[in-house]
Structure formats: C-alpha cells, structure tokens
Amino acid sequence: QYQGLARRSTNEVLQLYSAHGQQQKLQRSSVVTRLHGAVKKRLKKDLKSLRSFALELSKEFQHQSRTYLYQVLTAVREIQLQNEAMQMFQMKAFDLEQSLQEVTERYEKEKQKRRALHNSLVELRGNIRVHCRIRPLLPFDTAAGHLVPQDRQRNVSEKVAYAVDDETVLVKCSRPGHASINKTFQFERVYSASETQDIVFADVAPLLTSLLDGYNVCIMAYGQTGSGKTYTMLGPQLEENFAFSLEDESELGIIPRATQEVFRLISEKPPGSYWVEVSVVEVYNNEIFDLLAKDSCGKVFGVKRDVVTTREGKNDVPLLTHETVENASEFLHLVNKGLQLRARHPTLVHAHSSRSHLVVTLTITTIVSEDNFGTSWEDEQTTQRLNKEGFCTQKTRENKSTSSSRASSPAQLEATEKLKQVKTRLQLVDLAGSECVGMSGVTGAALRETSFINRSLSALADVLGAIAEQRSHVPYRNSRLTRLLQDSVGGDAKLLVMLCISPDQKYLTESMQSLGFGTRARQVQRGQVKKKNCPVPSKAK
C-alpha cells in the first residue's frame, strides 16, 4: 500500500510537475506574444513617422530644387543679357576705336601739314631749325663730381627737364632757397629720353635730300659736356680712343647715318654724276687743325690751317685736305682716323674731346648740264671758276685713276664746255661743351681751353644775335669757329641746331643757358635759303 501510495503520490507529483511545466510553457509563450505585439506596434509607428519624414523631405527637396532651378534660369538669362550688352559695348568700343584711329590719322595728317607749312615758313624766313634732345638720366649723374665742378656736387639726381610733347620742353624745379622755375620752351622738335638714334635721324634725313637737291646743309650739336652731343652726332664713344664704335648699328649717330643716306641717295642718281669729298677739322684754342693732313710718308698728322675770305666773299680753308670717298665705310674709316689723331698728336693733346669743336664736312660735287638751267642764275664769274675748277679736278682725278663711273670719262671731258660743277656742302659740327665753368682755381692749359671755348661759343651767340636783329655788322671775325661756320650760319645753308640737354637738376643753369641759346637761334631770320643749281627768281636776288 505504502509503495502503491508512494507510486501514486509520485505520479501525482509527476503530473503536477508536468502540469506546472505546461503552465509555465503557456505562460512563457503568452509573454513572447505580448512582447511581439508591442514591438510590432512600435515598429509600425516608427515606420509611419519615417515615411512621413521621407515625404516631408522629398517635398522640401522638390521645393528647393524648384527654387534653385529658378535661380539658375534667372542667372542664365542675366548672363545672356549681359552678353548682349557686352557685345553691344564691344561694338561700340570697336566703333570708338575706329573713329579714334580716324581722328588720330587725321590729326597726324594735320600735324604733318602744319609741320610742312611751318617748314615752308622756316624756309621762307631763312630760320634756323632747332631740335632739342633730352638725354636719359645716367648712372654718372649720381656719381659725385663727374664732370661737375667741386663746389656744386650734390649726390642726388632729380629730373628737372622734360619733353612735354614733341615740340615743348618744360623745365620745372623748386629748391629751398632758390626762386622756383616753371618755364616752357618751344622748338621745331623735342626728343624725350626714350627716343632713339633712329627717330632723331628720321628728322634729319629730309635735309640730306635737300643737300642733293642743291642746298648747303649744316647740323650742329650744342650743349654742355656730358649732355649727349657726341652721342647724337657720332654715337657711343669708346673710352680710350676717341673713335666711335660701329658694333651696334642702331646706336650710330647722325654723322655715320647721314653719310650712309647721302651715298644711298647718290646711288639712285645716274652713275658718275656726283662725287663726295671729306674734310675733318678741329677748332681747339681758336686754332684750326686739319685732322686728315698727311706727312710726306703718307702718315696722318694734324696741321694748323686758317680761314680766308675768297674774292667771291666765301670763306675757305686753303690747303685743307679733302679726301674723296666712295662709300660710307671709307668715310667712317677716315673720320675714325681723324678722331684718333686728336688723342695722339702732341699739339692736340687735351683731356677730352669736349674741349674742342669738331667739324666734319662732306662736299658733294655734281656735274650738271648748263642746258638744263640756262646761265642767268649765277654770275658769270662763278660759272667760269667752276668750269676751270671742274677741269682741274677732273684731270687730277684721272691721275689718281679713280673709277670710270666718275665724271672723268673722256666723253664728259670733251663736253666740259657744256658741263658745270656744282658743289654743295654738308657740315656736321660737334661743338665743345657749353658749360659756364668758373675760372677761379683753373690755371694753365685748362684756363686757356676754357676761355677759348667760352669766347668761341659767345662769338657764335653774338653772331646769331646780330643776324636776328638784322644788324649791318655781324661779328664773324671774333672767332675762328664763327669764320669757319660763317657760310652756314650766315645764310647760305639749311641749318639745324641740335640742342642737347642733361635732365638732372645739377645741370639746371647749363640747361637753361642751352635752351636760351636755342631760343635765340630760332629767332634768326636770314631770308630764303638759296638753292645752288636752279634758277633763282630775280626778286629773291
């Protein structure tokens, strides 16, 4: 029984136990279901809010993209409008540019016409053309004491002379303790520091055409030492010898360029109708030195010469060496030789070339037929003299066995009676420095040099003054320089004075003096310059 009871109670326990297990199982699955339900509910909620958020976002996105699109479209439209406006402006600018160009062209033409008229006026009045070249500031302007007297050293360079336009120089300076200066000067042409040798020569070239047309021409550079006279006339000089270098053609000055141009113009004429002779003289301490004279061995050495007045009233330097040259390089070779002599010859020793006046003369002889112009235009005496001279020259020429293209061919010799020689002259002058150097403390050779330079340049100014005032007496005889240049300055040549100016304040006094000289030269009226080989109207005689 007991065992039976125990078994029964065990079974009951087991039943109860399993019932309890089942109940527990049931209980557990209902928690999971509840939990599941809760999660599902939550998920649904979240999904719903996510969806509404996404909807909101896409709505927002659409709205914004629409706004941006609108903005882009507006911008594109604006750009299109701006492009159109730009095109219009471009067209307008093009039109304006074109009309500006037209106006500039017209202005240039008018300017040229005015220049030509002014030139004719200058010619009619027999005025002296004055061009003014302002050189750039150079390193030595700041270097203490270079070419400047001790008492005026100032180590700062400051520009006081300007080219306002191509006809006006402005000198503007105000210094403490000095009256301020603000003065303009007018000239036929003003070159600024940036204007090249090419540009300067372009204005000189027409004078060379005149030369071959039968006019005497003289070009002289005036200015203080270091202002660019030699640079303008010859080109940059080499240091030790006085020759100028030919390395850079673009740097060549008026003298070599003028010679090239003369030979170019001659090459366009019938062969043998022109020949060219050169003389090179230096006026130093009122003495004239022939820089091409040769000794018995054919060596070049400087010889003193003098000026005399011929029966025809012309000034001449007897015995002066005239070398025939056939081309520009022969000429340059000769001039270089002459220039080197200045440094070598004992009687010609002076510290630098700016202590003397250099006069290079090209004489151009033309053979013209008398039939071409009748005999009334020049007096009989001159004609006869020229014929005689022509014959002699042709003979010497034959002796020298010069080329057959020259005027010395037999056919031409036979026709001598009908031929006539006309000589025209191109004088190229590099004057000594015009600075007003004080005499105090200067002795010996330097004093002599300075006083001769001062005297010769003031004689030149006096001559110009006398001609300008049309005085009956013109004091050419006061200096050999003025006697040598008398025919050019006094009326029988187209004369161009090239004023050279250093722009630095240090040289203010000298620059004002040079500008004054140029202004005075411009006032000279000598009457119409005569052409040498055409009939001169009787009224003008």
Applying CB under 6 A, the residues found at the interface with ligand ADP are 135-136, 138, 223, 225-231, 236, 354, 433, 500
- Residue 382 labelled as part of a binding site: no
How near is the Cβ of 79 to ligand ADP at its closest, in Å? 52
- The token pair that represents 198 in the structure block: 């090419």
How near is the Cβ of 282 to ligand ADP at its closest, in Å? 14
Q: Considering beta carbons, is residue 354 or 365 the nearer one to ligand ADP?
A: 354
- Residue 235 labelled as part of a binding site: no
Q: Considering beta carbons, is residue 135 or 425 the nearer one to ligand ADP?
A: 135
**Could you give the count of Cα atoms lying within 13 Å of 414 in the half-sphere of its Cβ?**
3
How near is the Cβ of 508 to Mg ion at its closest, in Å? 20
- Burial class, 20, CB count within 10 angstroms (exposed 0-12 / middle 13-18 / buried 19+): exposed
Among 127, 197, 336, 354, binds Mg ion (CB under 5 A): 354
* Residue 479 in contact with Mg ion, rule: CB under 5 A: no
CA distance 331 to 322: 11
State the binding partner of 483 from ligand ADP, Mg ion, none, CB within 5 to 8 A by kind: none
- Residue 224 labelled as part of a binding site: yes
How near is the Cβ of 497 to ligand ADP at its closest, in Å? 14
* Residue 260 in contact with Mg ion, rule: CB under 5 A: no
State the binding partner of 365 from ligand ADP, Mg ion, none, CB within 5 to 8 A by kind: none
- Residue 230 labelled as part of a binding site: yes
Q: Using the 8-state DSSP alphabet, how is residue 504 labeled?
A: B
- Residue 168 labelled as part of a binding site: no
Residue 349 three-state SS: coil
- Residue 229 labelled as part of a binding site: yes
State the Cα angle at 169 between 163 and 170, rounded to 5°: 95
Q: Considering beta carbons, is residue 132 or 474 the nearer one to ligand ADP?
A: 132
Q: Considering beta carbons, is residue 229 or 420 the nearer one to Mg ion?
A: 229
How near is the Cβ of 453 to Mg ion at its closest, in Å? 12
Q: Using the 8-state DSSP alphabet, how is residue 456 labeled?
A: H
CA distance 501 to 12: 142
* Residue 488 in contact with Mg ion, rule: CB under 5 A: no
* Residue 434 in contact with Mg ion, rule: CB under 5 A: no
* Residue 230 in contact with Mg ion, rule: CB under 5 A: yes
Q: Considering beta carbons, is residue 214 or 236 the nearer one to ligand ADP?
A: 236
Which residues have C-beta within 8 Å of that of residue 270, sequence separation ≥ 6?
Answer: none
- Residue 120 labelled as part of a binding site: no
How near is the Cβ of 195 to ligand ADP at its closest, in Å? 8
How near is the Cβ of 237 to Mg ion at its closest, in Å? 7
Only segment of 44-52, 136-144, 350-358, 373-381 that touches Mg ion (CB under 5 A): 350-358
How far is the CA of 428 from the CAs of 27, 260, 458, 513, in angstroms? 135, 14, 20, 22
- The token pair that represents 512 in the structure block: 């004002």
134 contacts 190 by C-beta, under 8 angstroms: yes
State the Cα angle at 450 between 344 and 191, rounded to 5°: 85
Q: Considering beta carbons, is residue 199 or 536 the nearer one to ligand ADP?
A: 199
- Residue 52 labelled as part of a binding site: no
393 contacts 324 by C-beta, under 8 angstroms: no
Q: Considering beta carbons, is residue 138 or 181 the nearer one to ligand ADP?
A: 138
How near is the Cβ of 382 to ligand ADP at its closest, in Å? 38
Question: Which helix (DSSP H) or strand (DSSP E) does residue 49 occupy?
Answer: helix 2-125
How far is the CA of 453 from the CAs of 224, 302, 481, 487, in angstroms? 11, 20, 10, 21
Closest chain position to Mg ion (CB): 230
200 contacts 191 by C-beta, under 8 angstroms: yes
- The token pair that represents 76 in the structure block: 């594109």
How many residues touch Mg ion under the rule CB under 5 A: the total is: 3
* Residue 533 in contact with Mg ion, rule: CB under 5 A: no
| Residue length of the chain | 541
- The token pair that represents 193 in the structure block: 């520091």
Q: Considering beta carbons, is residue 212 or 498 the nearer one to ligand ADP?
A: 498
CA distance 476 to 465: 11
Binding residues: 223-230
**What is the contact surface with Mg ion in residues (CB under 5 A)?**
229-230, 354
